[in-house]
Amino acid sequence: MPRRSWLSAIVLAVILGGAPADLAHAAPAAAHDATTTAHAEVTGTGRNVRVVLDLEYDLLMKSAWLYAEAYEAKERTEQLRQLKVNRDAVIGYVTGRFAVAYDDKPCVPTMAGDADVRVRGKAAFAVLTLAYACGGEGSHAISSALFPDAESFVHSTETIVRYDLDGEKGSAVLVAGSPTLLIGERRASTQVGEFALLGAEHLLFGLDHILFLLSLLIGARRLRDIVLTATAFTAAHSITFLLAAMGIVDVPAAIVEPVIAVSITVVALANLLGRQEDRLGRWRLPIVFAFGLVHGLGFAGALDIDRSGSWELLLSLLSFNLGIEVTQLAIIAALFPLLVLLRRTSAARWAVAALSVPIVAVSLYWFFDRIPLPL
């Protein structure tokens, strides 16, 4: 086998090796099929603590070991009824896996009012308000073991905690390996690391963003092209990510998700139809910037901080975005040199098609699947 053909085979194997497994799991908001994020807002001082939990409805009902009629309920009215009927089971599950302690002594939880239901992204979330009565003196600790891997319904659950407790404000990400937050002992560097990792995970496990980035790489012929394109995409999605996560801009996921799919289709088709600079020409950067704005809304939906004006959370937002940017640069640094080598081989033409056709097919499927249809 000629040296260049042998080299191209290696390059294609590296680039396409993980594609079949990824495409087999391709779906809108793919990460939600395998994992979930719980949200907790904790406020109070001393002996009185209030916690508002947002938990994915169907997962909560399954984890509480309720019947199918409970976790399969789709209408909000029926979901509210099921939460009321199964109140004791739901409270028992939640209070057994989410705890507040004061001076190392467990606080006693009680349900405050009835549960509510609201939509986050595409999923219904149960909203539970708990009042914790604490004894003793000292500092608070918050622990979450919600939806563990052992339940087998999801894996790698993360609990995003926003707190205004004992005069301190901030946010944290609790995971199985680090399930407890100690108020008063938390450093800013820890918060930066947690949310940067969360951003990196979202980019890596968000197949739609990966495919868009890969489409841009396939169409870039020179290092200058990819630097300009990546800069435009980064600037655009950073703007809308921060505006949306802060609650300043609010665009429904029903609009954002289909447009993200369209963005992938457009860029991948440009790669198929000809050289990207010939097909998109001087409109290439404006198009990438426009689609980057939409992708930023998708990133914000993943973090799902919905309180307008929550500037105390700015460090978390910037850290999350930092994780996205670093991971994006790592992907570019790993793949672009391989694609450059590939273009120097006789396999270059059919390799572009081999990479672009599956991307077009998957993104078109996503587009039609993400369009909300009337019931």
Per residue, the 3-state secondary structure of 157-198, as one string, reads: CEEEEEEEECCEEEEEEEECCECEEECCCCCHHHHHHHHHHH
Tell whether pTM > 0.95.
no
Write down the domain spans for the chain: 3-31+200-370, 36-186
Which pLDDT score, from 0 to 100, does residue 107 have?
94
| The two three-digit tokens of residue 310, written as one number | 């929550």
- Percent of all residues in the chain with a pLDDT value above 90, rounded to a whole number: 29
Q: Is the pLDDT of residue 11 over 70?
A: no
What dihedral do alpha carbons 330, 333, 334, 340 form, nearest 10°?
A: 160
Which pLDDT score, from 0 to 100, does residue 26 have?
39
Name which of 115, 106, 95 is nearest 54 in CA terms: 115
Mean pLDDT of 249-262: 84
Which pLDDT score, from 0 to 100, does residue 2 have?
42
Which pLDDT score, from 0 to 100, does residue 254 have?
79
Residue 42: pLDDT band (50, 70, 90) is: very high
**For the segment 119-135, what is each residue's pLDDT rounded down to a tens digit?**
886 789 999 999 999 98
Q: Which residue has the higher pLDDT, 18 or 342?
A: 342
Give the SS3 label for residue 108.
strand
> Cα(348)–Cα(365) distance, rounded to whole angstroms?
26
Mean pLDDT of the chain: 81
Q: Is the pLDDT of residue 24 over 60?
A: no
Mean pLDDT of 304-309: 53
Q: Is the pLDDT of residue 31 over 50?
A: no
> Cα(314)–Cα(170) distance, rounded to whole angstroms?
9
What is the DSSP pairing of strand 37-45 with strand 158-165?
A: parallel
Q: Is the pLDDT of residue 279 over 80?
A: no
| The two three-digit tokens of residue 29, written as one number | 């908001």
Mean pLDDT of 14-28: 41
**For the segment 147-171, what is each residue's pLDDT rounded down to a tens digit?**
999 998 988 898 999 888 888 888 8
Q: Is the pLDDT of residue 194 over 60?
A: yes
Which pLDDT score, from 0 to 100, does residue 188 have?
64
Backbone angles phi, psi at 346, to 5 degrees: -70, -10
Give the SS3 label for residue 258.
helix
Spatial neighbors of 328 by CB under 8 A, at least 6 apart, are 203, 213, 230, 234
Q: Which residue has the higher pLDDT, 134 or 3?
A: 134
Q: Which range has the worst mean pLDDT, 63-72, 185-194, 247-256?
A: 185-194
Which pLDDT score, from 0 to 100, does residue 50 have?
96
Q: Which range has the worst mean pLDDT, 45-59, 60-74, 308-322?
A: 308-322
